Amino acid sequence: MDRRTPPLNATGRYTLLEPWVADSSTIYSCKAIRSFDDIYKTGVDVFKSYYEPLGLTREDVEEGRQAGANIVTLMSRSVGLANEQVGVIYVPDTHIVSYPDMSSYRYNHVVLSISLGAIPDYIQLDLLKDEMVAAASDVIGVESEVKVHVAESSGSVTPEEHDVWVAAREQAIANRGSEYGRILELQQQLQALQVKYDTLEQYVLDNDL
């Protein structure tokens, strides 16, 4: 019998020989590898604990012993609505057909989120969303999608509080290199030019020039 012993913590999909079965859609991790002798020393009967429940015989255990088999503990983890469930398979490494290649790369679906706190509902977020998409592409080369999630506030804001918060928020804008930062600077420059224009226009009118 051929032994295929996975390294500890090898995580991924396993294929087992019947009567042991690993769900092909489930991710398992190798959590322990114990020889038959080590198990017997703890007072556990390998046959009664790992072979007999699957309908195998003591001859099967002896065959495994002759091959130098180990009992491998595979654990899977799934999260339900109410609680987390852990599945365990105890399988001889002589009944492992394949285990995860540890040289492969594991991928995870990753979501980054930011909280903007309470902001007035008239603020347009299109520019911010575009900046976030551009930043993700520039930094890690991923074309992302930005979604907006809004939770209604239970309190109210007075006009005075609103004015203070708006001023503080605009003062705190640090990303002047962003699209929004450039627009804000241009708006401020336009306001300053408008004040000068109004002043000059009034001077001309007052002096009949």
Where in 44-95 does DSSP place strands (E)? 70-79, 84-92
pLDDT(198) > 70: yes
Inform me whether the pLDDT recorded for 118 exceeds 50: yes
Length in residues, the chain: 209
Torsional class of 150: left (φ above 0), alpha (ψ -120 to 50), beta (otherwise): beta
pLDDT of 33 reads: 96
pLDDT at 143: 85
Give the per-residue pLDDT at 175: 52
Tokens 């020889």 sit on residue: 35
Residue 62 confidence (pLDDT): 94
| Residue 208, pLDDT score | 78
Nearest 5°: the CA angle 69, 70, 72 is 135
Please list, residue by residue across 124-147, b when 16 or more beta carbons sit within 10 angstroms of its beta carbon and e when fewer do. eeeebeebbeeebeeeeeeebebe
Q: What's the mean pLDDT in 174-185?
A: 63
pLDDT tens-digit series, residues 76-105: 865 444 455 568 999 999 999 999 877 666
Which of the two residues, 20 and 115, has the higher pLDDT score? 20
Give Dmax over CA atoms of the chain in angstroms.
117
Q: What mean pLDDT do residues 70-77 have?
A: 91
The band of 201, judged by pLDDT with boundaries at 50, 70 and 90, is: confident
**What is the pLDDT, as a whole number, of residue 79?**
45
Q: Considering only 57-61, 62-66, 103-107, 173-177, which range has the smallest mean pLDDT?
A: 173-177
Q: What are phi and psi of 12, to 5 degrees?
A: 155, -145
Most confident of 10-14, 67-71, 118-122, 140-144: 67-71
User: Long-range contacts of range 71-74, CB-CB < 8 Å, 24 or more positions apart?
Assistant: 71/32, 71/33, 71/34, 71/35, 71/36, 71/39, 71/46, 72/5, 72/6, 72/30, 72/32, 72/33, 72/96, 73/30, 73/31, 73/32, 73/33, 73/34, 74/14, 74/22, 74/28, 74/29, 74/30, 74/31
Q: Which of 36-50, 59-73, 98-112, 163-177 has the lowest mean pLDDT?
A: 163-177
Per-residue model confidence (pLDDT) at position 81: 42
Quick one: DSSP state of residue 102? T
- Find the mean pLDDT for residues 46-50: 95
